[in-house]
Amino acid sequence: MGLIQEIDYGTKASNATKLVSLRIDGQTITVPEGTSVMRAATELGTQIPKLCASDMLDSFGSCRLCLVEIEGRAGTPASCTTPVAEGMVVHTQNAKLAKLRKGVMELYISDHPLDCLTCSANSNCELQDMAGAVGLREVRYGYDGANHLDAVKDVSNPYFQFDPSKCIVCSRCVRACEEVQGTFALTIDGSGFSSKVSPGISEAFFDSECVSCGACVQACPTATLMEKSVIEMGQPEHSAVTTCAYCGVGCTFKAEMRGEEVVRMVPYKDGKANHGHSCVKGRFAWGYATHRDRITTPMIRAKITDPWREVSWEEAIAYTASEFKRIQAKHGKDSIGGITSSRCTNEETYLVQKLVRAGFGNNNVDTCARVCHSPTGYGLSKTFGTSAGTQDFDSVDEADTILVIGANPTDGHPVFASRMKRRLREGAKLIVVDPRRTDLVHSPHVNADYHLALKPGTNVAIVNALSHVIISEGLADEAFIRDQCDWNEYAEWASFILQPHNSPEAVAKLSGVPADTIRGAARLYATARNGAIYYGLGVTEHSQGTSTVLAIANLAMLTGNIGRKGVGVNPLRGQNNVQGSCDMGSFPHEFPGYRHVSNDTARQIFEQDWGVSLSAEPGLRIPNMLDAAMDGSFLGLYIQGEDIAQSDPDTQHIVGGLSAMECVVVQDLFLNETANYAHVFLPGCSFLEKDGTFTNAERRIQRVRKVMSPKNGYGDWEITLLLAKAMGMDMHYNHPSEIMDEIARTTNSFQNVSYDLLERLGSVQWPCNELAPEGTPTMHIGAFVRGQGQFVIADYIPTDEKTGPRFPLLLTTGRILSQYNVGAQTRRTENAQWHEEDLLEIHPHDAEVRGVKDGDWVKLASRAGETSLRAKLTDRVAPGVVYTTFHHPITQANVITTDYSDWATNCPEYKVTAVQVALSNGPSEWQSSYMAHSAESRRIGAIAAE
Ligand code: SF4
Ligand code: SF4
Ligand code: SF4
Ligand code: FES
């Protein structure tokens, strides 16, 4: 297996439908109008020498290496900037062109170090290749004149270096930063010979606006911008395509390897979600997989106050099975359960829920998706008929007005954000509904037309007010509603929406958003040719999360923005496989494919396939498992790849529940916070060590491919199989592909999915069945999946979490680009350099009245608890609102979140907590005792004995 090579066609593909025929070096080719001569030649197999061109970028035409002759035209035009024309006759190679190209290369090389043999890019350098391609053997100008060979390296970025002595000023990096990433961090300073690339105003990369996406590194044709891992380890020698294990964008990468070591991750141009782009996490933050903190030997202990004892896999599995059986024998079959992971593969998640339903004999299975997007599943299923987003990411290219609600894509879904920003630079309009001024509201070349900086907790009121304006001003798409929705339901809903309490004026009072702003935003969305809605956890993690999802779905139906490209309702999913874990039947009331456990037909399908009888009673959700633990009726829990002690709300409730259990089994890479309360630790394996699939936010199923042997000895799916067998279950698979075959055979929306299909197509979006053999990029075309779209009345009911004299501020939470969720992975990489601690953002006015200065330790207290962290003064948040991230365990942000949750799904209300902020001396009592317990409970045998 060698390196996967992707052809660089030099310029982007044309989307034109009209075709044009031309002759290149005597061969005829037909391509879409607008294709460049360079691309047409490459498609014929003729690589015209090039340096400044790349098919990831717009044509630039600066290096003059790609010259060609065109019959009937004067001179030697650049093939990268010359579009094809009907009947054109092109010559790419003759003596005159060769001489011109050699002259160009000679100039470049005369100002370039000749250390090719020891250069880190040796054998993978376009400049070196081009020197060879044009036959350059000597340089007439010598190397003694003015040059840049002594320019100083910038090694400030933890992942790549910038060596300006090797720069040929082709500008590919600058264009990649602008066009692909949309950050505009790089410039070309000066002109002519003195021109040079510079981050910001001659800043170091680390101090500049650069967000370390690596697009410039990938674009650079020389060793000027180069991954430090390549400099240290040498050029990779084989690769495999796999999928990022961080967020729900689902970028695919070539994992480029030497032996079993990753040298670098290169975004895959054929990846349908990312088209060759990535963010800092996926491209660079993979070092956690080999971090020294990783636990690779199973461990057990009788009590959580005991030190851990390392044991063999046989002993760990046998102990777990005997404990689970003992608990069930004593307390009944419902006394144990499992939690699946949105970080693990579809196949692994499917197995855990199968183990619980068929092996444990109950439906006590739940997932961390409960704490993020469960309202999406419920709300979209009720209104549209499917628990998932309606579009593919490419759809944003055709959106004219983009409405972003409660999402911060530049931090949370960066690659999609780059895509969205490109569309905005092309002229699409933007409405942002968010209490905080996110980067999307104002960033280089992007300014939101409307920012509705609402008071946290008032989403439903705002979305209903948008609908109110649209109906009252006659902007509804009545034809669409009559054609595709139930008109009577619509009429009932419309009369509710038209009630005065939904008017912009009434809503302005409670949300803090001026009525004019609401009206303007409503008109902009309703009158767009294509209006697209993207939303995130700022919508779902509320006591009214489901109501907001329903209100959003109503808004889209009201304006006919469903069922074609450029429109839709698109939840931006948090974790890499949160869509997949929901699809795979992780909830206690649903089998894979969202079929209720009480549905006899669905149950029979699984009973027949699995050869057991199954319970028709929904099982316990995570909060109910913890409650049941406290009252002594739920005592055993198998947790795969999930850290509920850190990610779930009301930490003290979680800790109480876990501490009351008799056998908590944690399967993970690291001793996470939940493992502090575990009796068995089963070492998990990283995405680099296993085969499987992830499903991203677009319902896109993509392969995860094993590039190294599991450091712990087993893939996560194999560990579940060992446990199932020890519990007496007859479960056997030779490879995850066989698990996918079972999913396909039992779940209609996956009917056609197989590893062979994924090999052939690269990826596929479910539903993928006889009606859509190669998947479904856009849902609900012509008709809703449920038949008619259903308008559901979703009234605004204020959360019970209220501010008052004791807790006058509202806390809302979010994440930042460099860190990922609870930080277990990213904190174990160089990404920690960008975010060493969680900070509390507070408006200068609120800080001043409390005597708080930037960087001060503050106590953040709510009705649930208190924690301490440092303050950051900023007007990104409005007065009365504070904001923090939750990436560091020491912060314990969830100690202060309450146990209020969504009325329909129990999704916790992370986004609204009434708090008070006061100066403090350092970590709170709870933090100190928690950290002490944490250190104590991580003792491993030999260390503890000392
Ligand atoms: S790493 Fe990304 S953001 Fe930074 S300069 Fe390069 S392209 Fe721009
Ligand atoms: S750093 Fe690389 S991509 Fe940027 S101008 Fe120099 S050679 Fe070109
Ligand atoms: S955007 Fe998400 S999927 Fe893509 S590289 Fe970044 S973390 Fe990974
Ligand atoms: S590749 Fe065409 S001008 Fe540089």
Mean pLDDT, residues 22-37 taken together: 96
- With the C-alpha atoms ordered 576, 578, 579, 585, is the resulting torsion angle positive or negative? positive
Q: How, if at all, do strands 336-340 and 365-367 pair? A: parallel
* Residue-wise pLDDT tens digits, 127-136: 888 888 878 7
Residues near 241 by beta carbon (within 8 Å), at least 6 away in sequence: 4, 252, 253, 254, 255, 268, 270, 271, 703, 705
What pLDDT sits at residue 142?
Answer: 57
What pLDDT sits at residue 935?
Answer: 67
CB neighbour class for 460 (10 Å; exposed up to 12, middle 13-18, buried from 19):
buried
User: What residues line ligand 1, using a CB cutoff of 6 Å?
Assistant: 176-177, 181, 183, 185-186, 199, 210-216
Q: Give the number of the atom of ligand 4 that is nearest the alpha carbon of residue 48.
A: 1
Q: Considering every ligand atom shown, identify the ligand nearest to the alpha carbon of residue 51 and give its number.
A: 4
Per the CB < 8 A criterion, the answer to whether 316 and 680 are in contact is: yes
Per the CB < 8 A criterion, the answer to whether 296 and 683 are in contact is: yes
DSSP state of 359: I
Residues near 460 by beta carbon (within 8 Å), at least 6 away in sequence: 544, 547, 548, 551, 794, 795, 796, 797
Query: Ligand 1: which residue has its CA nearest to atom 6?
Result: 216
Closest by CA position to 122, among listed 198, 257, 14, 231: 231
- Weakest-pLDDT range from 301-305, 375-379, 635-639, 889-893: 889-893
What does the alpha-carbon distance between residue 838 and residue 871 come to, in Å, rounded to a whole number? Answer: 9
Closest by CA position to 701, among listed 577, 593, 590: 577
**How far does the centroid of ligand 2 lie from the alpha carbon of residue 125, in Å?**
12
| Ligand 4 neighbourhood includes 130 CB (under 6 angstroms) | no
pLDDT tier, 29 (very low <50, low <70, confident <90, very high otherwise): very high
Query: Ligand 3: which residue has its CA nearest to atom 2?
Result: 247
**How far does the centroid of ligand 3 lie from the alpha carbon of residue 572, in Å?**
12
- With the C-alpha atoms ordered 216, 220, 224, 226, is the resulting torsion angle positive or negative? positive
Q: Give the number of the atom of ligand 3 that is nearest the alpha carbon of residue 243.
A: 3
Per-residue pLDDT at 80 exceeds 90? yes
**Torsion angle (degrees, nearest 10) of CA 177, 183, 189, 195:** 0
Instruction: Please give the structure tokens belonging to residue 48.
Output: 């015209």
For 676-686, b where at least 16 C-beta lie within 10 A, e where not — what string?
bbbbbbbbbbb
Rg of the chain in Å (alpha carbons): 29
pLDDT tier, 553 (very low <50, low <70, confident <90, very high otherwise): very high
Computed over every residue of the chain, the mean pLDDT equals 90
Count other C-beta atoms under 10 Å from residue 923's C-beta: 19
**Most confident segment among 71-80, 283-292, 792-801, 880-889:** 71-80
- Weakest-pLDDT range from 59-68, 147-156, 189-198, 734-743: 189-198
pLDDT tier, 611 (very low <50, low <70, confident <90, very high otherwise): very high
Instruction: Please give the structure tokens belonging to residue 414.
Output: 């960066």
Place of tokens 């035209």: 73
What pLDDT sits at residue 799?
Answer: 75
> What H or E segment, with its residue span, contains residue 130?
helix 126-133
Instruction: Please give the structure tokens belonging to residue 236.
Output: 């990779």
Per-residue pLDDT at 943 exceeds 80? no
What pLDDT sits at residue 143?
Answer: 55
Q: Give the number of the atom of ligand 4 that is nearest the alpha carbon of residue 81.
A: 2
What does the alpha-carbon distance between residue 583 and residue 564 come to, in Å, rounded to a whole number? Answer: 23
Per-residue pLDDT at 357 exceeds 70? yes
- The conformational region for residue 557 under phi > 0 = left, psi -120 to 50 = alpha, else beta, is alpha
What does the alpha-carbon distance between residue 683 and residue 309 come to, in Å, rounded to a whole number? Answer: 13
What pLDDT sits at residue 56?
Answer: 96
Q: Which of 251, 687, 698, 819 to mutate to test the pocket of ligand 3 (most atoms within 8 A of CB)?
A: 251
Q: Considering every ligand atom shown, identify the ligand nearest to the alpha carbon of residue 280 and give its number.
A: 3
| Ligand 2 neighbourhood includes 676 CB (under 6 angstroms) | no
For 743-782, b where at least 16 C-beta lie within 10 A, e where not — what string?
bbebbbbbbbbbbebbeeebbbbbbbbeebeebbbbbbee
| Ligand 4 neighbourhood includes 485 CB (under 6 angstroms) | no
Instruction: Please give the structure tokens belonging to residue 299.
Output: 């461990």
**How far does the centroid of ligand 2 lie from the alpha carbon of residue 57, in Å?**
14
pTM of the entire predicted model: 0.92
* Residue-wise pLDDT tens digits, 441-486: 998 889 999 999 999 889 999 999 999 999 999 999 999 999 999 9
Q: Which of 159, 252, 274 to mutate to test the pocket of ligand 3 (most atoms within 8 A of CB)?
A: 274
What does the alpha-carbon distance between residue 530 and residue 522 come to, in Å, rounded to a whole number? Answer: 14
CB neighbour class for 810 (10 Å; exposed up to 12, middle 13-18, buried from 19):
buried
What does the alpha-carbon distance between residue 37 and residue 292 come to, in Å, rounded to a whole number? Answer: 52
| Ligand 4 neighbourhood includes 514 CB (under 6 angstroms) | no
Report phi then psi at 586, rounded to 5.
-80, -10
Per-residue pLDDT at 543 exceeds 80? no
| Ligand 2 neighbourhood includes 168 CB (under 6 angstroms) | yes
| Ligand 4 neighbourhood includes 172 CB (under 6 angstroms) | no
Q: Considering every ligand atom shown, identify the ligand nearest to the alpha carbon of residue 11 and give its number.
A: 4
Mean pLDDT, residues 519-543 taken together: 92
Per the CB < 8 A criterion, the answer to whether 385 and 784 are in contact is: yes
| Ligand 2 neighbourhood includes 251 CB (under 6 angstroms) | no
Mean pLDDT, residues 17-35 taken together: 96
Which is more confident, 126 or 767? 767
Per the CB < 8 A criterion, the answer to whether 747 and 592 are in contact is: yes
Q: Which of 249, 266, 572 to mutate to test the pocket of ligand 3 (most atoms within 8 A of CB)?
A: 249
| Ligand 2 neighbourhood includes 53 CB (under 6 angstroms) | no
Per the CB < 8 A criterion, the answer to whether 746 and 344 are in contact is: no
pLDDT tier, 736 (very low <50, low <70, confident <90, very high otherwise): very high
DSSP state of 938: T
Angle at 163 between CA 157 and CA 168, to 5 degrees: 130
* Residue-wise pLDDT tens digits, 499-529: 999 999 999 999 999 999 999 999 999 999 9
pLDDT tier, 887 (very low <50, low <70, confident <90, very high otherwise): confident
| Ligand 4 neighbourhood includes 47 CB (under 6 angstroms) | no
| Ligand 2 neighbourhood includes 121 CB (under 6 angstroms) | no
- With the C-alpha atoms ordered 34, 56, 439, 199, is the resulting torsion angle positive or negative? negative
Place of tokens 């003596």: 95
Place of tokens 């660089």: 8
Q: Give the number of the atom of ligand 3 that is nearest the alpha carbon of residue 279.
A: 6
- The conformational region for residue 762 under phi > 0 = left, psi -120 to 50 = alpha, else beta, is left
What pLDDT sits at residue 945?
Answer: 35
Per-residue pLDDT at 77 exceeds 90? yes
Report phi then psi at 267, rounded to 5.
-55, 140
Query: Ligand 2: which residue has its CA nearest to atom 5?
Result: 169
Q: Give the number of the atom of ligand 1 that is nearest the alpha carbon of residue 176.
A: 7
What does the alpha-carbon distance between residue 907 and residue 623 come to, in Å, rounded to a whole number? Answer: 10
Residues near 474 by beta carbon (within 8 Å), at least 6 away in sequence: none
Per the CB < 8 A criterion, the answer to whether 638 and 365 are in contact is: no
Amino acid type, 567: V
* Residue-wise pLDDT tens digits, 839-863: 999 999 999 999 999 999 999 988 8
What does the alpha-carbon distance between residue 687 and residue 345 come to, in Å, rounded to a whole number? Answer: 8
What pLDDT sits at residue 946?
Answer: 32
| Ligand 4 neighbourhood includes 527 CB (under 6 angstroms) | no
Query: Ligand 1: which residue has its CA nearest to atom 7?
Result: 177
Per-residue pLDDT at 735 exceeds 80? yes
Quick one: what percent of the chain has pLDDT higher than 70? 95
Query: Ligand 4: which residue has its CA nearest to atom 3?
Result: 61
pLDDT tier, 531 (very low <50, low <70, confident <90, very high otherwise): very high
Q: Give the number of the atom of ligand 1 that is nearest the alpha carbon of residue 280.
A: 1
Helices 622-630 + 651-660 axis angle, to 10: 60
**How far does the centroid of ligand 3 lie from the alpha carbon of residue 176, in Å?**
17
**How far does the centroid of ligand 2 lie from the alpha carbon of residue 245, in Å?**
30
Report the length, in residues, of the chain: 946
What does the alpha-carbon distance between residue 468 and residue 164 come to, in Å, rounded to a whole number? Answer: 57
